[in-house]
Amino acid sequence: MTLPTAIFILAAAFLTATLSGVFGMAGGLVLMGALALVLPVSAAFVTHGILQLVANGWRALLHRRHVRWDIVGWYALASLIAGVLVSLAAFTPSKPFLFLMLGLVPWLTWLPAGWLKLDAARPHQAFASGFLVTGLNLMAGVAGPLLDIFFVRTELTRHAIVATKAATQVFAHLAKIIVYGAPLLVGARDADMPPLWLFALAIPLSMAGTWCGGLILERMSDVNFKRWTRWIVTAVGVLYLIQAAQLLMAGS
């Protein structure tokens, strides 16, 4: 791995963790695209899973008093089932497909409120969110906007939303690490992964970024929190659709 690539990944780890610390999902979307630009797909999935596992786990720990553990329990059970099914299918997306999915996922935030009346506080919907979000996470690398649909219409505060979503995403990213990491460990493609020293630097940077994001979150209102989340992920999605189109045209 070249030094510019390593610096790029480290900067992305810090900045996207800060973004996630504020909005709970936008950072993961940006980080997945950044990693896919410089790493093979499987290595990008595992690297993203490790960094986001740490960032989300640290965020959940920082805001642990706000976590709704009943929601997390149902989500974790469904996440396990989804991980097993995708693992059996042995699915690995191509880069054009990955960017296409990354570009389409944010548009889920614009679904009219009357179409889907979802509430993660209800046990059966918490289970559904775990199955659907983890499944999409394993196909597109991220699923924050889909997860947000289950939370944005709840009566939870912004602190409870960020904390509970962070706790649930620990299981989604753990599934991604296992599903895509196992073939890398047993095959000849382990050289595609970043070196261990990069993770040793990126993990504390992700934790620092999460802490910085928490400071910004304290200064935001619930209204601005939900409004900015939608616009940020949509703008990122447009950029990913452009990238997908460029990759498809280059390959044709």
Per-residue pLDDT reduced to its tens digit, 106-130:
887 777 766 667 788 889 999 999 9
- Residue 245 — φ and ψ, nearest 5°? -65, -40
Report the chain's mean pLDDT, rounded to a whole number.
84
Residue 216 has pLDDT above 70, yes or no: yes
Please check the confidence at residue 6 and state whether its pLDDT lies above 80: yes
Report d(CA 114, CA 103) in Å as an integer. Answer: 24
Backbone angles phi, psi at 120, to 5 degrees: -65, -15
Looking at the chain, the number of H-run helices and the number of E-run strands are 10, 0
Three-point CA angle 53, 58, 61, nearest 5°: 125
Contact 206, 61 (CB under 8 A): no
Letter for the amino acid at 167?
Answer: A
Query: If DSSP states are collapsed to H, E and C, what string results for 167-186?
Result: HHHHHHHHHHHHHHHHHHHH
Query: DSSP character for 157?
Result: -
Q: Does an H or E element contain 135, and which?
A: helix 123-140
Q: What is the mean pLDDT of residues 77-104?
A: 88
- Model's pTM, two decimal places? 0.80
For the residues 192-209, what does the mean pLDDT come to?
88
- Does position 184 have pLDDT exceeding 70, yes or no? no
For residue 194, what is the DSSP state?
A: P
Higher pLDDT, 116 or 71: 71
pLDDT tens for each residue of 161-179: 888 988 998 998 899 898 8
